[in-house]
Amino acid sequence: MGIPVGMISAIYNFALTTGANRVIRGARIEHVCGDPTLSPEKDYAFGMRIVTTALQTLTIAVPGPTLFDPMAPGKT
Partner 1 sequence: MRLEMGTFPVRDIVFGRTTRYDAGRLTVDRDAVLAAVRQDPRIASAELEIAKPGESVRIWPVRDVIEPRVKVEGPGVCYPGICGREIATVGEGRTHRLSGMGVVEVSSVNWHDAGGDFVETFLDMSGHYGEMYPYQKLVNLCLVVEPDATLNEEVKNYAAHKAALTVSDQLGEAVRSLTPPEREVFELAPVDPSLPRVVYIWCVHSPQAMSGSPTAFCTATYGLTQLTPPWYLHPNEILDGALTGPYRTAFAMSWTVANNPLFLDLYRRHGRDWNFLGVISLRTEWTTQTEKQLMANQTAKLAKQLGAQGAVVTWDAGGNEFIEVVRSIQACERLGIKTVFLTSEDDATDGAPTMLEPLPEADAIVSTSFFKNVTLAVPEAPAVSRVIGLPTKIVRRGSTIGLHGGVDGGTLPTTGPLPPPWRYDDHYGFSSLSCAE
Give the largest CA-CA distance in the chain.
Answer: 42
Cα–Cα distance measured from residue 16 to residue 27, given in angstroms and rounded to the nearest whole number: 16
Tell me the closest approach of the beta carbon of residue 46 to partner 1, in angstroms: 15
Of 56, 62, 65, 68, whose CA–CA distance to 8 is shortest? 68
Instruction: Please report, as residue ranges, which positions from 14 to 33 form the binding site for partner 1 (by CB under 8 A).
Output: 14, 17, 27-30
Contact 57, 75 (CB under 8 A): no
**Is 13 a residue that touches partner 1 (CB under 8 A)?**
yes
**Is 37 a residue that touches partner 1 (CB under 8 A)?**
no
Tell me the closest approach of the beta carbon of residue 29 to partner 1, in angstroms: 4
**Is 11 a residue that touches partner 1 (CB under 8 A)?**
yes
Residues at the contact surface with partner 1, assessed by CB under 8 A: 10-14, 17, 27-30
